[in-house]
Amino acid sequence: MSALDNKTLFWGLFFVILLSLIAVFAQFISPYAYDTIDADNILQPPSAGHIFGTDQLGRDVLSRMIYGTRISLSVGFIAVGIATFIGIILGSMAGFYGGFIDRAITIFIDIMLCFPVFFLILAIVALLEPNIYNIMIVIGLTSWMGQARLIRAEILSLKERDFILAEKVLGASNQRIIFFHLLPNAVGPVIVSAILGIAGAILVESGLSFLGIGIQPPTPSWGNILSEAKSTLGIAWWLSVFPGLAIFITIISYNLVGEGLKKYLR
């Protein structure tokens, strides 16, 4: 099945690529700087001059959302990159070596899964300075367990295959077997999990920013734009509708790509 035949994957990729292009070229397509204040146009509804309206300080909402795309996608990609790296290392060690190492890592994974992840992130972020780098690292360090379990399960099923046994007979090192033979054959489900994880990381960042302990104004993120909209919900509907739609479309798009890849990789 090609990507064009897989409509779920096609439409998911279409919106993911579109969002990525918006993030990369934000400074070129944004009609205004995200922090430009216009005291003469406070809380103006959508119009030709401000397509998504303006906020309490007269800043253009469309411009802030375009730059917010860059923030949200950066958090998603880097946080998931950290989580996937940790998951691959620990999952590979557990699956390949077995025995005490497997039991120790499995127990550690189970302990981490006992904590409600969002509340764990809240607790950690509350102790740290709430900036984009801390948000990325904290989400990554608390989101690797699923990838680790996937890699462990795949390697457990692969390491007794004939081609792996042949490599052992030929004297290949453990590191060569893991990185050149096991991981390339086990990485498919992890890619799907990582793509779904990007959606989850964006949602977590938006939630943290909405609560005021994520990305801090004036740096725009969809979450803090929504947070600023709370005080004007009854008179400025555009401040909550457009960021909410952006989060919804992004989460749906990454989920479509993940589900489409599941079909594509079967």
CB neighbours of 156 closer than 8 A, spacing ≥ 6? 95
Q: How far is the C-alpha of 91 from the C-alpha of 98, rounded, in Å?
A: 10
Q: What is the pLDDT of residues 69-102, one digit of tens each?
A: 999 999 999 999 999 999 999 999 998 888 899 9
Quick one: pLDDT at residue 26?
Answer: 92
Gyration radius of the chain's alpha carbons: 22
Q: How far is the C-alpha of 225 from the C-alpha of 57, rounded, in Å?
A: 12
Question: Helix 238-264 crosses helix 61-97 at what angle (to 10 degrees)?
Answer: 30
Strand partners, 54: 60
Instruction: Give one DSSP letter per residue of 227-264, joined into a string.
Output: HHGGGGTTT-THHHHHHHHHHHHHHHHHHHHHHHHHHH
Place of tokens 């700087």: 33
Q: What is the b/e burial string over 220-244, where b = at least 16 CB atoms within 10 angstroms of the residue's CB? A: bbbbbbbbbbeeeeeebebbbebbe
Q: What is the pLDDT of residues 132-173, one digit of tens each?
A: 888 888 889 888 998 999 999 888 888 878 787 887 787 778
Strand partners, 60: 54
CB neighbours of 39 closer than 8 A, spacing ≥ 6? 57, 58
Quick one: pLDDT at residue 39?
Answer: 84
Q: How far is the C-alpha of 83 from the C-alpha of 141, rounded, in Å?
A: 6
Question: Helix 61-97 crosses helix 7-24 at what angle (to 10 degrees)?
Answer: 120
Q: What single-letter DSSP state applies at residue 43?
A: T
Is residue 232 within 8 A of residue 39, CB to CB? The reply is no
Separation of first and last alpha carbons in the chain: 9
- Give me the residues of the chain with pLDDT under 50, please: 1, 4
Quick one: pLDDT at residue 265?
Answer: 67
Quick one: pLDDT at residue 10?
Answer: 86
Which residue ranges form the domains of the chain, and what is each CATH number? 7-264 (1.10.3720.10)
Q: How far is the C-alpha of 145 from the C-alpha of 141, rounded, in Å?
A: 9
Peptide bond into 218 cis (omega under 30): yes
